[in-house]
Amino acid sequence: MSELKFSDWMAQQQSRAETALERALPMSSIAPERLHEAMRYTTLGGGKRVRPLLVYAAGKLAGASAPTLDVAACALECIHVYSLVHDDMPCMDDDALRRGKPTVHIQYDEATALLTGDALQTQAFDLLSAPGLFADPIRQLRALHTLARAAGSRGMAGGQAIDLASVGKQLTREELEYMHLHKTGALIRAAVLLGALAGELDDDALERLDHYAKCIGLLFQVVDDILDAVADTATLGKTAGKDAANNKPTYVSILGLSESKDLAAELANEAVASLAGFGEAARRLHELAHYIVSRQF
């Protein structure tokens, strides 16, 4: 049977992630209803699901079981959505629009937004720590450790702290890279690694995948900076031009548009080169690198 073309595979996996999230999140009929409703409001029915797609693609390559990958994909998306909810709050980016709809503190209130982020974060670890989720408990523990590291002060939350502290400052390219490898890259990297850990790859293969993941994590942010500078709010589903308006250092402000585009192409090539030893089994990861470099929103 011939394989699905990338756009069809992506739509299929996005819908698979949606169904898995529908099941994984507490129903809004269960107390506390308003909190559960807000968790579902912000998580379901939106977003590109890039992190779940990476879990699925890496997991397939590693021979992981579908139900395990569904749970790992949900855990990644819960952490990601928590970070978006908190990032949009008045104490951080203060944004009213996310995924084309009002942000949680606008639709509900600030306290609910705070709790929604908190609860989504712990929901991720609740899901990923379910006894027996991975065939090998040691690999499950490694996956938990990987996700905790990626989300915490030595990963995404740390990157966000550096981001907040650098508003209005002139960063070097190295400092900008360090910030983004943590703020955005750490979770993207964890998505690939969790998919891979759910299967049976050896440490050498995991390392090669980790290099791919590091490249696309940074690539994702370079493209995000380009889109923030050139795309409009309706296309992005979030407020465009915020980086310049907030006087934030970005790849575009440091390198300029043309050099940022060259860097994105270089990172995509380097990512794809690290997949060389996997052959056809890495097709979806290969295609995802191309998708990330050419995405329009």
Listed ranges 30-38, 82-90, 191-199, 201-209: which one lies at the site for ligand GRG (CB under 6 A): 82-90
- Out of 25, 38, 50, 75, point to the residue binding ligand GRG (CB under 6 A): 50
Q: What are phi and psi of 210, to 5 degrees?
A: -65, -35
Distance CA 101, CA 36 (A): 18
Of 65 and 122, the one with the shorter C-beta distance to ligand GRG is 122
The amino acid occupying position 138 is I
Residue 209 in the binding site for ligand GRG (CB under 6 A): no
CB 76, CB 56: distance < 8 Å:
no
As a residue count, the chain comes to 297
- Out of 13, 43, 112, 221, point to the residue binding ligand GRG (CB under 6 A): 221
DSSP 93-145: T--SEETTEE-HHHHS-HHHHHHHHHHHHHHHHHHHT-TTSSSSHHHHHHHHH
Q: How distant is the alpha carbon of residue 40 from its chain centre?
A: 18
Of 47 and 249, the one with the shorter C-beta distance to ligand GRG is 47
Of 175 and 281, the one with the shorter C-beta distance to ligand GRG is 175
- Out of 21, 38, 47, 193, point to the residue binding ligand GRG (CB under 6 A): 47
Listed ranges 47-55, 136-144, 259-267, 270-278: which one lies at the site for ligand GRG (CB under 6 A): 47-55
CB 112, CB 38: distance < 8 Å:
yes
CB 18, CB 44: distance < 8 Å:
yes
Number of residues lying near ligand GRG (CB under 6 A): 16
Letters for 169-198 (x = contact with ligand GRG by CB under 6 A, - = none) are --------------xx--------------
In angstroms, give the least distance from the CB of 157 to ligand GRG. 4
**Residue of minimal CB distance from ligand GRG?**
47
Instruction: Compute the C-alpha angle 232/79/74, nearest 5°.
Output: 100
Which residues would be at the binding site for ligand GRG (CB under 6 A)? Answer: 47-48, 50, 80, 83-84, 86-87, 99, 156-157, 160, 183-184, 221, 224
